[in-house]
Amino acid sequence: MSALSRLHDKVALVSGAASGIGLATARRLTEEGACVVLADLDAETGASRAEELGTDRAHFAELDVTDPGSWAAVVHRSLDRFGQLDGLVNCAGVGGGGSLCETSEEDWRRVMSVNLDGVFFGMRAALPALLERETSSVVNISSIAGLVGFKGSAAYAASKWGVHGLTKTAALELGEHGVRVNSVHPGSIATPLTAGLTRGIGQIPAGRVGAPEEIAHLVVHLVSDESRFTNGASIAVDGGETAGNSLRGLL
């Protein structure tokens, strides 16, 4: 690994790292020189992915993001394995379709528990370790459903707007302590989570869906020292989908 690698002195913890955006992020972080803890509820797949990335730089830890105790154990395990923590990437998430009237209380609580509570518990657990570093970074993966309304996805949109708001608040509270907190808002990305969705490509100016690696590239920048003056940002990676209405013609 070259000493000029962008993340050669960094350690990052990535939730939801067994597949999709989380896995792509873990892979890119290690490629740029970071040591990475891949955390996921899917122990078999997660451990296999860590082994593929190389056990000298990648380590798997089983994580239930809805459980504060599980988060505390994973942070402790990360410090025990690599000695420090410079970055937290909250990537674990679940989908949740259904309108306001159709969404059950059970579905509402399930989506909120993973998508929003998980981010809160993760930041709270990692913060003492992050504060030990001169500069550190939290990257919360939200969604474009956390930037605009999403018809038929009441719980999902509410959870992702919650991540957006929590990110802004944490950025204000932690910036003076050297911890920057930013949110990334993917649009239509080809992942296992979105495999069954019917996509409307017409509203995406780029004319295609994105790849998980296109999110991971941005996360690498936000974890690296290149982004030391970027705090509280909400960055859409969506091929232009939230830029405006690309389907409606001129009046």
Residue 188 lies in a domain: yes
Q: What pLDDT, on the 0 to 100 scale, is given for residue 241?
A: 93
Q: What pLDDT, on the 0 to 100 scale, is given for residue 249?
A: 62
Residue 250 lies in a domain: no
Tokens coding 123: 């930041």
Q: Which domain holds residue 208?
A: 11-243
Helical axes 154-174 vs 105-112, angle rounded to 10°: 30
Residue 248 lies in a domain: no
- The answer to whether 156 is a known catalytic residue is yes
Tally of helices (H runs) and strands (E runs) in the chain: 7, 7
pTM as predicted? 0.94
Q: What pLDDT, on the 0 to 100 scale, is given for residue 197?
A: 60
Q: Residues 101, 157: contact at Cβ < 8 Å?
A: no
Distances from the Cα of 3 to the Cα of 10, 33, 34, angstroms = 12, 8, 11
Number of separate domains in the chain: 1
Parts of the chain with a pLDDT under 50: 3
The catalytic residue among 156, 185, 209, 220 is 156
Q: What CATH number is associated with residue 201?
A: 3.40.50.720
Q: pLDDT by residue (tens digit) across 108-126?
A: 999 999 999 999 999 999 9
Residue 124 lies in a domain: yes
Which residue spans within 86-241 are E strands per DSSP? 87-90, 136-141, 179-186, 234-237
